[in-house]
Amino acid sequence: MAPVNARSSRVVILGGGPGGYEAALVAAQLGAEVTVVERTGIGGAAVLTDCVPSKTLISTADYMSDFETAADLGVHLEDQEGDEVSDAVADLPEVNRRVLSLAAAQSADITARLAEVGIRTVAGAASLTSPTTVRVEPEEDGGAAEELTADVVLVATGAAPRVMDTAVPDGERILTWQQIYDLRELPRRLVVVGSGVTGAELAQAYLGLGSEVVLVSSRERVLPGEDPDAATVIEDVFRKRGMEVLSRSRMESVSRTADGVLVRLVDGREVTGTHALLAVGSVPQTRGIGLEEIGVDLLPSGHIAVDKVSRTSVRGVYAAGDCTGVLPLASVAAMQGRIAMSHALGDAVAPLNLGVVSANVFTDPEIATVGITQKDVDEHRVDAEVLMLPLARNPRAKMLGIRDGFVKLFAQKGSGAVVGGVVVAPRASELIFPVTLAVQHRLNVDQVASTFTVYPSLSGSVAEAARRLHVRG
């Protein structure tokens, strides 16, 4: 391949989510002329409908659940007459306004940042007419289509909620997770279908906000992709707080009734509610944008096949994020996009390493994970010692009224290197960082154990778990 001159390269990016906009920033920094084509809004689904809105909603629900702990800590809430108040009340329209305005502000911040560094953004729907030409259909009727020429193309078109013929969302009572922020009142009885990360997070959010929630879970246990001990803690918490969890229950159809919804299960049972939230997975947005026509290989699932530097089967065409299905996380999409641009524009680049991705499920408590999994150990793919330490005995956890949660570390047998970890705790997303540092930099349990932690602190349990994994030399 001829040497790349980043300064004279034209880069066109389809999609302005984290895969697209983070790539654009790297390409601009390397001196390329960059255009991002986005049909909905910069920030993508991550910022406008998925990640940012759901975490904002969860912040309110978490805040409300703090009131439940208040009495344990000796705090009693009273109304103006001095009567004890048992429940805080969420004003859903107000909460949703905050969610949407925060998402819009985040999108505006990113748009401004792109403009600041000279990146052109074009509103419209993009498709490839050749590996080096992108056609943009304007969103507004009457506008002229535009043809962009590119030396490098990045496809970062994301994914959309999976819709079943038997459960078609209507945006009023039968909803995808992208439609919930228009609700004007709190669902009285919400049936959440699907207990993956999206279903579990939102089921608990609405429970916290005050809805009655039924979770239809097709599996033995909620959160089937997570650490089994962590998922068990979360399912117990769900039930303890009053959520009805229907295990091994597959939804067959969802339909409207006079005043709500009817969810039929495959085994014939029926569940009624005022609203249904469908969280049954996503499909990549890769059809009808010219990919197959120009020779880009798609997987049977419709995802774009990419290698570890985000190359597709067509030279000069890269792909990043949920449209590739590598690991559907905003952080991974962004990393794939950055790697793609560094590779395409001739900068130094390390291939994507999924072994060190830290991820978090924003339930209450949260589940944060990094590195190898319990499944890797149980199925003998990794020879590791496992140590699980419940938080219940941690002094800070007692002070904070934390009852549920643990720290689990995986240490390679022999070397003692920390190769993975799971933290189940409030703000586990922050607590996982020391474990991620250890995994990424191959620290061993003794190095972690001999690092000072604050007393009292939850991170003390990370060091304590490492200490218990010490093997006498």
Ligand X SMILES: Cc1cc2nc3c(=O)[nH]c(=O)nc-3n(C[C@H](O)[C@H](O)[C@H](O)COP(=O)(O)OP(=O)(O)OC[C@H]3O[C@@H](n4cnc5c(N)ncnc54)[C@H](O)[C@@H]3O)c2cc1C
Task: Determine which residue in the list 13, 16, 173, 190 makes contact with ligand X, applying CB under 6 A.
Answer: 16
Residue type, 200: A
User: Is 450 in contact with 422 (CB distance < 8 Å)?
Assistant: no
A 10 A CB-CB count for 402 gives 17
Which strands form 366-371's sheet, in the order they lie side by side? 359-361, 366-371, 418-425, 406-412, 384-390
User: Is 355 in contact with 371 (CB distance < 8 Å)?
Assistant: yes
Task: Determine which residue in the list 12, 14, 216, 466 makes contact with ligand X, applying CB under 6 A.
Answer: 14
Of 160, 56, 61, the C-alpha closest to 101 is 56
Q: Which does 273 bind (CB under 5 to 8 A by kind): ligand X, ligand NAD, none?
A: none
Residue 431 lies near ligand NAD (rule: CB under 6 A) = no
Of 56, 133, 136, 119, the C-alpha closest to 90 is 56
What separation in angstroms does the CA of 450 have from each of 155, 383, 456, 461? 46, 24, 16, 13
Identity of the residue, 304 or 384, whose beta carbon is nearer to ligand NAD in the bound complex: 304
Place of tokens 């997303």: 429
Residue 39 lies near ligand X (rule: CB under 6 A) = yes
* Nearest distance in Å: CB 213, ligand X: 16
Residue 279 lies near ligand NAD (rule: CB under 6 A) = yes
Residue 220 lies near ligand NAD (rule: CB under 6 A) = no
Q: 230: which DSSP letter?
A: H
* Nearest distance in Å: CB 317, ligand X: 14
Residue 322 lies near ligand X (rule: CB under 6 A) = yes
User: Is 157 in contact with 45 (CB distance < 8 Å)?
Assistant: no
Instruction: Name the residue number minimizing CB distance to ligand NAD.
Output: 196
Q: Which does 23 bind (CB under 5 to 8 A by kind): ligand X, ligand NAD, none?
A: none
- Cα(421)–Cα(246) distance, rounded to whole angstroms? 29
Residue type, 197: V
Q: 304: which DSSP letter?
A: B
* Nearest distance in Å: CB 248, ligand NAD: 10
Residue 200 counted as an annotated binding residue:
yes
Residue 176 lies near ligand X (rule: CB under 6 A) = no
Residue 201 counted as an annotated binding residue:
yes
User: How many of the chain's residues bind ligand X (CB under 6 A)?
Assistant: 35
Contacts to ligand X by CB under 6 A: 14-20, 37-40, 44-46, 50-51, 54-55, 125-126, 156-158, 177, 198, 285, 289, 321-322, 328-331, 333, 362
Contacts to ligand NAD by CB under 6 A: 193-199, 201, 216, 218-219, 224-225, 250-251, 279-282, 328-329, 359-362
